[in-house]
Amino acid sequence: MKNGKRISNKMTMRQMPKGEGPYERCMEKGAEALSDSELLAVIIRTGSRSETSLELAQKILRLGGKEGLFGLLDQSFEEFTKINGIGRVKAAQLMCIFELSRRIWRSGGRLQEKPFQDPSQIADYYMQSLRHLDQEHIYAMFFDTKQHFIKDVLLSKGTVNASVISPRELFVEALKARAVRFALIHNHPSGDPEPSREDELLTRRMKEAGIVLGICLVDHIIIGNASYMSFKERGML
């Protein structure tokens, strides 16, 4: 103790020798020169009373398990706050940066020139954002005549039920987007992508409604844990 203040034996990033801190390395060599833990340390800015920001960042990375950074994308606010040294503000910062990462990941699909003609392309587009959610989310993905991406909309959150999800909502959005084709995508929180009877009923209902309006259902993809099932590939459309 000195003058009533606690003195920490741990260095802050400012106290690191010149040239060794993540900020300086980033400015001198570029962000690509930083390790995953150094990038996280820059984002959270400060450590705790007993740990530097770099040590705290390493603890955050361990939360992702074998998947590392990808594993962090699926962590909740509560999981982050369980880490000693991560309060509500730091947890909110982490949630925001990982949500931004998901949006950047998905925006790549909007920018790509190649059409979404293979089920694996659609599955890859949604995999990281849907695979670990604890509720079912169903999206409609809209395409032009060459199956280039136009937009997507969230149709339902909580359950995939053919009697609850309205074709009207889907096709109003399709007509607004001037789409001529669409795909359905949803996740199974269990991690098993095998379709249920409700999944099959929903697919049939949306396909039939699309035929009437001249908007073709090209696939229904179910996202599991690092796996997917395609109605098109199974010959179930």
pLDDT band at 113 (very low <50, low <70, confident <90, very high): low
Whether the pLDDT of residue 12 is over 60: the answer is no
Interhelix angle 167-176/197-213, rounded to 10 degrees, is 50
The set of residues, in sequence order, having a beta carbon less than 8 Å from that of 59 and lying 6+ positions away, is 51, 83, 84, 85
β-pairing, 228-230 with 216-223?
A: antiparallel
- Please give the sequence-ordered ranges of beta strands (E in DSSP) within 40-164, or none if there are none: 136-143, 149-158
pLDDT band at 105 (very low <50, low <70, confident <90, very high): low
Please report the pLDDT score of residue 5 as a whole number.
47
Q: Which residue has the higher pLDDT, 156 or 20?
A: 156
Around Cβ 185, how many Cβ atoms within 10 Å? 23
Domains of the chain, start order: 13-106 (1.10.150), 114-230 (3.40.140.10)
**Token duo for residue 174:** 């399709």
Q: What is the DSSP letter of 8?
A: P
Round to whole Å and give the CA distance between 94 and 100.
Answer: 10
Round to whole Å and give the CA distance between 118 and 127.
Answer: 14
CB-based contact 73:103 (threshold 8 Å): no
Whether the pLDDT of residue 128 is over 60: the answer is yes
Phi/psi-derived region of residue 165, left when phi > 0, alpha when psi is between -120 and 50, beta in every other case: beta
Burial (CB count <10 Å: 0-12, 13-18, 19+), residue 189: middle
pTM above 0.75, yes or no: no
- What's the mean per-residue pLDDT of the chain? 85
pLDDT in tens, 170-219: 999 999 999 999 999 999 999 999 999 999 999 999 999 999 999 999 99
Round to whole Å and give the CA distance between 130 and 102.
Answer: 10
Q: Which residue has the higher pLDDT, 9 or 92?
A: 92
Interhelix angle 88-111/119-130, rounded to 10 degrees, is 170
